[in-house]
């Protein structure tokens, strides 16, 4: 359930602003989160478990900045300054003095639980821990930390530099001050935070996945997916239709999320036999990430 009006109220409660952050995982999301924090002036430590991932994470930030310089929207000096705000590391030593951590490692509850417990042991008692999980319950993850009142979800959307919304997910034990600090940090990153309660799909995916399910039903009834997209784009005015959006989200991610949503809301989101998304997934057509999904992106 979306908690109306809480974001504004909460912003008044911040007792310690976020001056330094850390992101765990330098993947698609970690790289984008590091860029966004650095670009908006909050230094950030980007921690991963392998060097190659760190190089790719830094490349994510650097590529976004290079495009801005090429388009004349940013000077090369400013770009260099933004990059110095990102510290890439394989060690937890650099996270000791951060005010907030955004965990953005692989979507696996066991890995996330271990990473959250481990990083917490390096942090000060005041530091806040957040998770960028798309589908795992915040209350479940809270069981792996010692200070659940200092823990909440901080769910960014892909690509982080272009998507304004950030869902701040409140666990049962999350304190108001924690929500306030994370809301303020998201706003400082130039994002639009909303505060939501913990439930499968949080807010956006709860709305999006029933929409995808409606689309899948139409396709199974014989309607051409490209025609559905065309109507949504050209006539209804949305930036992209459901098939194209599924390719952007990633067919594997969408398939996983469909399972989470139908398990969480079995009455509302029944599993669809021969769902085109699972059929594509079984055929390794993962969308834009491997150039083949509903469409060929090559």
Q: Which residues are known to be catalytic?
A: 155
The answer to whether 30 touches 47, Cβ cutoff 8 Å, is no
d(CA 33, CA 22): 9
Residue 134 near ligand NAD by CB under 6 A? yes
d(CA 273, CA 266): 14
Among 7, 10, 18, 25, binds ligand NAD (CB under 6 A): 25
Stretch that binds ligand NAD, among 21-29, 93-101, 263-271, 273-281 (CB under 6 A): 21-29
- SS3 of residue 151 by DSSP: strand
Residue 48 near ligand NAD by CB under 6 A? yes
Q: Shortest Cβ distance from residue 273 to ligand NAD (Å)? A: 26
Q: First CA to last CA across the chain, in angstroms?
A: 39
Q: Shortest Cβ distance from residue 224 to ligand NAD (Å)? A: 26
Q: Closer to ligand NAD at the Cβ: 132 or 216?
A: 132
* Angstrom distances, CA of residue 221 to CA of 178, 240, 246, 275, 285: 47, 21, 19, 11, 21
130-147: b (≥16 Cβ within 10 Å) or e: bbbbbbbbbbebbebbeb
Q: Closer to ligand NAD at the Cβ: 65 or 260?
A: 260
Binding mask 244-263 for ligand NAD (x = CB under 6 A): ---------x----------
If you count them, how many residues does the chain have? 298
Among 19, 66, 68, 158, binds ligand NAD (CB under 6 A): 158
Q: Shortest Cβ distance from residue 126 to ligand NAD (Å)? A: 22
Provide the pairing of β-strand 128-131 with 100-103: parallel
- Residues 98-127 contacting ligand NAD, CB under 6 A: 104-107, 111, 115
Site residues, ligand NAD (CB under 6 A): 24-30, 47-50, 53, 104-107, 111, 115, 132-134, 156-158, 253
């Amino acid at each position: 359930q979306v908690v109306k009006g809480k974001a504004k109220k909460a912003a008044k409660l911040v007792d310690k602003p976020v001056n330094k952050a850390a992101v765990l995982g330098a993947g698609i999301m970690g790289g984008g989160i590091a860029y966004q924090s650095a670009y908006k002036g909050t230094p950030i430590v980007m921690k991963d478990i392998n060097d190659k991932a760190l190089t790719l994470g830094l490349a994510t930030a650097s590529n976004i900045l290079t495009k801005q310089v090429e388009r004349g929207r940013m000077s090369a000096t400013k770009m260099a300054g933004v990059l110095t705000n990102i510290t890439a590391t394989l060690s937890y030593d650099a996270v000791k003095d951060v005010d907030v951590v955004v965990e953005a490692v692989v979507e696996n509850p066991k890995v996330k639980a271990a990473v959250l417990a481990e990083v917490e042991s390096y942090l000060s008692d005041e530091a806040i821990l957040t998770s960028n999980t798309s589908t795992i319950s915040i209350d479940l993850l809270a069981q792996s930390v010692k200070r659940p009142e200092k823990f909440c979800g901080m769910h960014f959307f892909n690509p982080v530099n272009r998507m304004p919304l950030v869902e701040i997910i409140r666990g049962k034990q999350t304190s108001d001050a924690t929500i306030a600090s994370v809301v303020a940090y998201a706003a400082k990153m130039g994002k639009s935070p909303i505060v939501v309660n913990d439930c499968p799909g949080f807010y956006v995916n709860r709305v999006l996945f029933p929409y995808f399910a409606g689309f899948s039903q139409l396709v199974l009834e014989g309607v051409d997916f490209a025609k559905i997209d065309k109507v949504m784009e050209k006539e209804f005015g949305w930036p992209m239709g459901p098939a194209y959006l599924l390719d952007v989200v990633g067919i594997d991610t969408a398939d996983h999320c469909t399972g989470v949503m139908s398990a969480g809301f079995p009455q509302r989101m029944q599993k669809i036999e021969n769902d085109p998304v699972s059929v594509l997934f079984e055929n390794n057509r993962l969308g834009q990430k491997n150039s083949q999904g509903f469409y060929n992106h090559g």
